[in-house]
């Protein structure tokens, strides 16, 4: 898989003028204060703090706009663990989707197409949980990071939970190193930081808040297990959950204190 250079203008794709308007199809030109801000409305990411099961997969399928979307599971972070692949097919079994798996631990002669060809033929890509540090290293070595950027630009819906949610942000907290949670830098498609498993692991909340308070980490989004966010480009389009008490927060500094602002979530089924 060859690595590519992406021009900034390529992210805009092919656009046409809106009839009678000054904007561009699929683009938002006005920033929050009325300034110029280009936004590609086709770039979609659906994350969850943990628990990207059948309900989240169903919602991703709906976001593709396809009657029977092709959805691919990318289990790099779990070292292509077979049990995760089996669970993926089980989670998809009741849905009107065409499930696929793209492994990273491969041998050339067993592959009928390149990873790039496989991933860019999909309507949605779900990234597994696991070791985010190893995931990022393997993606960079194989050029998967750049293929995922191209997929994002093309409107293929991306998503996942745990390592599969953290990977899309600039940075966040990971348990990929020995002994304790640490900061990791990731793909940077989504701006700011992220903490998955916010209610599911004892050290997630205090570590995330401490890193933000110290200035070591940018403000960002914390998701409980079973709660998540649908982003269009870098804007929060919808906050969702599959469990009533699962929450999503925007965590930042106000004055000298860390503040959690809960983002109201809608139930998906």
- Residues with a known catalytic role: 162, 197
Beta bridge partners of 239: 229
DSSP string across 223-254: E-TTEEEEEETTEEEEEEESSTT--EEEEEEE
Residue with tokens 């790099």: 76
How many C-alpha atoms does 15 have within 13 Å on its Cβ side?
21
E-strand ranges in 96-226 read 98-101, 124-127, 157-161, 169-174, 182-185, 190-195, 220-223
CB 194, CB 212: distance < 8 Å? no
User: Residue 108 CB: number of other CB atoms within 10 A?
Assistant: 6
The closest alpha carbon to 211, from 258, 162, 164, belongs to: 258
């Amino acid at each position: 898989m060859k690595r590519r250079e992406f021009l900034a203008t390529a992210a805009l794709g092919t656009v046409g003028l809106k009839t009678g308007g000054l904007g561009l199809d699929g683009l938002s030109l006005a920033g929050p204060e009325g300034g110029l801000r280009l936004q590609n409305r086709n770039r979609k990411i659906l994350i969850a703090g943990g628990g990207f099961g059948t309900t989240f997969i169903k919602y991703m399928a709906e976001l593709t706009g396809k009657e029977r979307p092709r959805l691919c599971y990318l289990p790099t972070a779990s070292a292509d663990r077979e049990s995760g692949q089996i669970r993926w097919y089980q989670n998809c079994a009741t849905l009107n989707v065409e499930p696929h798996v793209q492994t990273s631990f491969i041998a050339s002669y067993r592959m009928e197409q390149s990873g790039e060809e496989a991933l860019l033929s999909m309507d949605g890509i779900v990234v597994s949980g696991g070791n985010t540090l190893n995931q990022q290293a393997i993606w960079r070595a194989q050029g998967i990071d750049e293929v995922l950027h191209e997929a994002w630009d093309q409107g293929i819906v991306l998503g996942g939970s745990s390592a599969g949610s953290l990977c899309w942000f600039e940075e966040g907290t990971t348990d990929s190193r020995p002994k304790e949670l640490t900061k990791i830098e990731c793909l940077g498609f989504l701006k700011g930081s992220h903490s998955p498993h916010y209610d599911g692991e004892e050290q997630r909340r205090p570590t995330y808040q401490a890193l933000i308070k110290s200035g070591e980490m940018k403000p960002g989004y914390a998701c409980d297990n079973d709660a998540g966010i649908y982003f269009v480009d870098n804007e929060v389009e919808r906050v969702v959950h599959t469990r009533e008490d699962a929450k999503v927060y925007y965590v930042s500094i106000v004055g000298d204190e860390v503040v959690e602002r809960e983002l109201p979530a809608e139930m998906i089924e």
